Chain A
Amino acid sequence: MFRKIAIGVFSTAITALFLSANGCDSGGSGVDPVTKDAQAASQISQISTSIRNRKAISTEEFAALKQLHDRFPRSDLVRRTYFEALIVRGDVGSLEKVLTERSIAALSQKAKLDLAKIFKSNGKYAECIDILLPLAEKDPENSEIVGLLGVSYFHLDEPEKAAPFFDRVWPRLVADKRFEEITIRGLIHFRNNDLTRALEVLKLSREINPDQVAVNNALSRIYARLGDKEKADSFRRITVAAQDSAVSELNRASRNVENIIELENEWKNKNFSRVIELSRLLLPGSSPDQRTILYQYILEAGRANGDTAAAKEAMNELQNLQKR
């Protein structure tokens, strides 16, 4: 059965499985203007599927998508796909532009909150506050809104305004395990030289998420100021290790992409021995789905190359994977 799968599908599927761009969930659509145009509907469906599978969008696909976005400004389906495309392109600036070219006042509360998050990610904390203050008036106990206000004021170096927002919803922040806000509350204590309170709050945040570099870095600095060199150094090492680990993970992911693209190219070039080599290189650490595709590559390449041992081994592995 594996032989029936087109190799072209392997390319897109394997890339999607390995590329670690943020996962996508496009949600439902309902009746949508774009569905009235069969050709456009088909096109948007193809692009959307492509984005979801490959976590990437080609220049041509994006150009086509922009045209659809212009043609169907009321289409949620097109709009959602357009957002997905901007996200996989990492184009936060355009995302903000699209969201702010229409009335903010007319946005739903949820949409306003989401827009505030985009402003935050773009460092537009004053704009973030402008949106959030009215929301907080209506919903003063909403820990997400109020917490985000605190975060925004902190970044504007107004800790005296930030702190009351955190304190207002503190039990909710703790209950909801909102460690980013808790950490920033701790950093405010640190800035205010209240090292005892800072330690208490940052430790609480660390209990929720021990891997936060902000917390471990701050704890190191606080212990250093308290003269506890041992603990200061310990938390410094944890901070450095976390940074190193993140770099290693990026490196590994990038190497995988490099190998995958080479794998696809070598397949096209019918360099089957290299295909087998690369597939085997990619196997360690791969998920069952990824292994299935890689063994398919080995199977097909082994058959094409006359490497029956490799093909046989791959077939056995595929059968084992299927049983699981």
Chain B
Amino acid sequence: MNHGTTTLLFIFLVLSCACGPAVPNSTMTDKAGITFSDATESSSIRFEHIPTRTENKLLPEIMGSGVAISDFDRDGSPDVILVNSGSVRSKQRPSNAADHFYLNDGKGNFRNASEEWNFRGHGYGQGVAVGDVDSDGWTDVLLTNFQGSLILLKNTGSGFLDVSDGSGLSKNNEWITSAGFFDADKDGDLDVYLVGYVAFTPENPRRVYRNRMLIYSTPIYYQPTGDRLMLNNGSGKFTDATEAAGIASAKHNGLALAIADIDKDGDEDIYVANDTDANLLWINENGKFRDVAQLAGVSYDEAGREEGSMGADVTDSNGDGLLDIVVTNFQAESTALYIQTEPMLFKEISDAVGIGQSARQRLKFGVDFFDADNDGDEDLLVANGHIEDTVEQNSDSVKFAQPNTFYEAVGNGQFRDISMSAGNALADVQVSRGLATGDLNGDGLLDFVINNNGGTAQVAFNSTGSKGNFVVLWLEGKKSNRTAIGARVVAKMGDRTIERQVMGAQSYLSVSDFRLHFGLGPADTIDELKIYWPGGEQQTIENIAGNKFYYVRQGAETVNFVPGEKRIEP
């Protein structure tokens, strides 16, 4: 988080105004029809995030927590985890601050199965990562905490077992924010990257003031803790490989990560969004990592300044075949869009593509690129909310609770902010943090869930009327990790090509559904689908009919499924 100062002394000289027409408002409206309807009530997801904000304004209280959308019972429909926080000064969660685990019936009707599945976090909750760490076919869960041990929950297919003890994941009370699973060393199992924030102690917090008012502080007043890489031995036991992997030297105020094969060399790279610090781009070189962010142009803003970076995601935003990076930043900073102009060289062009201006009016956290109208390009959703709960006493134009922002991709890499016309879900005004997407109701359109700090989690169903066709792929590795994190899929329809990756992490403290969603536009068939499995194996499938859901086990024939209809056994 960044509290920038603004040099505006020249304003004093602006005194000669008279009456007349106002400057036209540049806010764009949209008739394209992308619409999200608030489905919090109908979904039966009832989640209140409890941050227990105190008058001491302890930093963790304002950070919020994450959300995961993933299929935990293998019925083909994505389920939802919402992480709660609790009380910073207490290791025990207040009874009303439990994490929630919701099972989906495939049609977007959820039931709270936390008790039934023994889903239980403790400590002051932050982030969530998911993946099949023991390769048994069931997606496991990792919960991160402020000053608490990491919690590894093994999914047995009918419940969760806390296997943190003996997992090798440390209990050194570091503040871990985000985490993401991926196969760092290409040995076929899932390793985990842990993002460290700062060394904060509630007993002796810095007291930071704005306009003589105590506010939530920024991380710059604390020592960064550094990130860690934990390697899996294949059965869910982890060993610290931070030093050996080459990432030990980088200590930054980390909040989020996006994991993708950014240089498309067959292994996954990691982009880390650091708060008021240089961002990192770890290029994976056979399990060793090298930070190229500064040289590639994705470390700072265009003027070389560190920003208050909160969230990150990766996509090919302009369809040129090269992956681009989006990073959410502090109020008055843009949501940076780093376009890869040639291999591993980026330029930040958010102002030129229609994102910058409205982004500066918000403090941004969760972020996700996804194809909301199935037209084949990915739109952008950003979760907003300030960190100063007293900001309105210092500003008439900046609010603590803020509406979220939806940018429609309108072609040629351009976006437009259609938040005002994109349905009542975008009218929700809360202090938003974690954000994840997935097709919750099985209608072939991607929906979203947002975890709001001190508020009610929001479930939004995509009710876009004018939409393209789609194909959904549930990939499961055999030689490669079972969750297929790192798989890259290229779909060809006529002369059009769409590429998607199964990403181990993105957004802020959150992870979206691993199933790959292809918007086909008017095409009713994918002519050729090429799957590049982690580890290098390729698989080609031809003539995939649209508007269907497919399960693909590595090397096997595709199987149609209907979300929520029946389990596909591991």
Give A contacts to B, CB under 8 Å.
15, 21-27, 54, 56-59, 76, 79-80, 83-84, 86-95, 97, 99-108, 110-111, 114-115, 117-118, 121-127, 155-158, 187, 191, 212-218, 220-221, 224, 232, 236, 239-240, 243, 247, 250-251, 254-255, 257-258, 261-262
Contact mask B377-396 → A, CB, 8 Å, 1/0? 00000000000000001111
Confirm or deny: B240 has a beta carbon within 8 angstroms of a beta carbon on chain A: no
> Are A213 and B304 interface neighbours, CB within 8 A?
yes
Contact A221 B294 (CB under 8 A): yes
CA distance A43 to B112 in the complex (A): 58
For B212, give the chain A residue with the smallest CB separation: A56
Distance A54 CA – B303 CA, assembled complex (angstroms): 31
Q: Please determine whether A217 and B294 come into contact, CB atoms closer than 8 angstroms.
A: yes
What's the Cα separation between A240 and B294 when bound, in Å?
10
Question: A123 contacts B19, CB within 8 Å?
Answer: no
The minimal Cβ–Cβ distance linking A108 to chain B, given in whole angstroms, is 5
Instruction: Assess whether A76 is in contact with B397, with CB atoms less than 8 Å apart.
Output: no
| A114/B10 in contact, CB under 8 A | yes
Chain B residues near A125 (CB-CB < 8 A): 351
Bound state CA distance, A24 and B360, in angstroms? 25
Q: Could you tell me the distance in whole angstroms from the C-beta of B56 to the nearest C-beta in chain A? A: 13
Given contact pairs A221-B294, A239-B294, A91 touches B397 in the complex (Cβ within 8 A): yes
> Is there a chain A Cβ closer than 8 Å to B20's Cβ?
yes
Q: Which residues of the other chain, A, contact B18 by a CB distance below 8 angstroms?
A: 102-103, 106-107
Which residues of B sit under 8 angstroms from A257, Cβ to Cβ?
208-209
CB–CB A101/B357 < 8 A = no
A27 and B13 in contact, given A217-B294, A220-B294, A251-B220 (Cβ under 8 angstroms): yes
A187: chain B residues at CB < 8 Å are 302
Cβ-neighbour of A87 out of B8, B276, B393 (below 8 A): B8
Q: How far is the CA of A294 from the CA of B151 in the complex (A)?
A: 50
Q: A124-B26, A217-B304, A247-B220 are in contact. Are A93 and B13 (CB under 8 A)?
A: no
Docked-complex contact B397 and A114, CB < 8 angstroms:
no
Give every chain A residue within 8 A of B427 (Cβ-Cβ).
Answer: none
**Smallest CB–CB gap between A85 and chain B, Å?**
10
Partner among A106, A155, A254 whose Cβ is within 8 Å of the Cβ of B19: A106
30 contacts between A and B (CB under 8 A): A22-B6, A87-B6, A90-B395, A91-B396, A93-B361, A93-B396, A93-B397, A99-B14, A103-B18, A105-B20, A106-B17, A107-B14, A107-B17, A110-B14, A114-B11, A121-B6, A122-B332, A122-B357, A125-B351, A127-B23, A155-B351, A156-B351, A157-B349, A214-B302, A217-B304, A220-B294, A236-B294, A247-B220, A254-B208, A261-B209
B304→A80 contact, CB < 8 A = no
Nearest A residue to B219 via CB reads: A247
A95 to B395, CA, bound (A): 10
Instruction: Determine if B162 is an interface residue (Cβ-Cβ < 8 Å).
Output: no
0/1 interface trace, chain B 345-367, chain A, CB 8 Å (1 if under): 00101011100110111000000
A104 partner residues in chain B, CB cutoff 8 A: 20, 23
Q: Is there an interface contact between A117 and B10, defined as CB atoms closer than 8 Å?
A: yes
B211 and A103 contacting across the interface, CB-CB below 8 Å: no
Within 8 Å CB of A26, what residues of B? 12
* Given A124-B26, A127-B23: A94 and B294 interface contact (C-beta under 8 Å): no
Complex: how many Å from CA A255 to CA B209? 10
CB contacts (< 8 Å) of B19 on chain A: these are 102-103, 106
Which residues in A have their C-beta under 8 angstroms from that of B22?
100-103
Question: How distant is the Cα of A215 from the Cα of B304 in the complex, in angstroms?
Answer: 8
- Inter-chain contacts of A76 with B (CB < 8 A): 15
Q: Are B220 and A258 in contact (CB under 8 A)?
A: no
Flag if B304 contacts A93 (CB, 8 Å): no
Contact between chains at B395 and A93 (CB < 8 Å): yes
Q: Do B306 and A243 touch across chains, with their CB atoms under 8 A apart?
A: yes
Structural contact, B276 and A217, CB atoms closer than 8 A = no
Closest CB-CB distance, A114 to chain B, in whole Å?
4
Is A239 a contact partner of B360 (Cβ separation < 8 A)? no
Could you say which of A24, A126, A156, A218 contacts B304, with CB atoms under 8 Å apart? A218
- Distance of A220 Cα from B21 Cα, bound (Å): 47
Distance A183 CA – B188 CA, assembled complex (angstroms):
48
Query: When chains A and B are docked, how far (Å) is the Cα of A21 from the Cα of B352?
Result: 31
Q: Are B211 and A56 in contact (CB under 8 A)?
A: yes
Interface centre among A26, A89, A95, A213 (most CB of B within 10 A): A89
Cβ-defined contact, B17 with A92, below 8 A? no
A23 engages B9 (CB within 8 Å): yes
A22 contact from B7, B16, B26, Cβ within 8 A: B7
Per-position contact with A for B1-42: 1 when CB-CB < 8 Å, else 0? 000011111111111111111110010000000000000000
Cα distance, A131 to B496, chains bound together (Å): 42
Which 8 pairs show the lowest CB-CB distances between chains A and B?
Answer: A103-B20, A93-B397, A157-B352, A217-B304, A213-B304, A106-B18, A214-B304, A102-B17
Taking CB atoms, residues of chain A closer than 8 Å to B20 are 102-106
Within 8 Å by CB of B11, from A59, A95, A122, A216, lies: A95
Q: Could you say which residues of chain A place their CB within 8 Å of the CB of B498?
A: none
